[in-house]
Amino acid sequence: MIASSWAGGWPTVKGEHLPYVIVFVTMSADGKIASVAKDSRLSCPSDKRRLHELRASCDAVVVGAATVASDNPLLTVRLVEGVNPVRVVLDGRLSINPSSRVVTDRSAKTVIAACYDACDEGKVTALRSAGCDVRLFKCVDGYLPLKEVLTYLRDAYRVKKVLVEGGGETIWRFFKEGLVNEFRVTISPFIIGGRASVTPVGGEGFRKLGEWVRLRLIHVIACECGDEVHLIYKVVGRR
Ligand SMILES: NC(=O)c1ccc[n+]([C@@H]2O[C@H](COP(=O)([O-])OP(=O)(O)OC[C@H]3O[C@@H](n4cnc5c(N)ncnc54)[C@H](OP(=O)(O)O)[C@@H]3O)[C@@H](O)[C@H]2O)c1
């Protein structure tokens, strides 16, 4: 089982722990999480259940605006018993479609994190009226300050454990800011190909060996389906 302590220590803000951040992705055997057509249906039923179990054990689940636009996910716990986590959409430009299921579905709270300067006040009001907590942050180069987002979730919703489900751009921002504690990946028996397909960690990438994030493999699960493997890594620092 997973060790509960992390040798590297948790990132802190003002001396207090930030929430523990787990990334979970399902990727093809050639390392893609979605095709160029944004098809990401890679999970077997057991992998979906694993994801829902993890959601049920987390206080918040985070996705990027592009994942909401392409998958229209509900982000609730459905395949196992459990309480729905707070849904969090990172949406710098507040481009979310108000008819997205995370907006219209009331079975869980939805927080939408967006940048002050990029926001249409009318849309903020409409989304708030629909029940969403639209939280505006001061962004740099259009990027949300993720430490502040995590601090807000901790203070406003008592969030201690966060599940980041993707996509690749969102996961990159969490790694870039040094906020990931655990990386979980299911390797699914498909080859997708395509240099423009989505990979687990996008962005501009870390350039040099000294910048790469070092992981320690702590658990290997052979999936019941017989064709998949699920790997659990702890982040232990830089290479
Ligand atoms: N297989 C899997 O496990 C899995 C899981 C999840 C998603 N996916 C797939 O991944 C694909 C989407 O991935 P993606 O990499 O294209 O996009 P993404 O990470 O879902 O969303 C990226 C967008 O989210 C907003 N965003 C994210 N982090 C931000 C930050 N720190 N500050 C400001 N805005 C931020 C930005 O929107 P703005 O540019 O509008 O500001 C950004 O362009 C979809 O096809 C989905 O199906 C696969």
Q: What is the pLDDT of residues 115-158, one digit of tens each?
A: 998 779 999 999 999 999 999 999 999 999 999 999 999 999 99
Q: Return the pLDDT at 117.
A: 87
Tokens describing residue 77? 């716990």
Helix (H) / strand (E) containing 164: strand 161-166
Q: Answer whether 95 contacts ligand 1 (Cβ < 6 A).
A: yes
Region of 42 on the Ramachandran plot (φ > 0 left; ψ -120 to 50 alpha; else beta): alpha
The mean pLDDT value for 15-38 works out to 94
Q: Answer whether 150 contacts ligand 1 (Cβ < 6 A).
A: no
Q: Return the pLDDT at 40.
A: 97
d(CA 131, CA 116) in angstroms, rounded, equals 19
User: Greater confidence, 210 or 7?
Assistant: 210
* Bond into 167 cis (ω within 30): yes
Q: Which domains does the chain have, with CATH numbers?
A: 12-238 (3.40.430.10)
Closest CA to 96 of 142, 135, 131, 127: 127
Q: Whose CA is nearest to atom 47 of ligand 1?
A: 40
User: Greater confidence, 178 or 118?
Assistant: 178
Q: Count of alpha carbons within 13 Å of 221, Cβ hemisphere only?
A: 16
pLDDT tier at 207, thresholds 50, 70, 90: very high
Tokens describing residue 7? 């040798």
Atom in ligand 1 nearest the alpha carbon of residue 63: 20
Q: How far is the CA of 9 from the centre of ligand 1 (A)?
A: 27
Q: Return the pLDDT at 239.
A: 54
pTM, two decimal places: 0.94
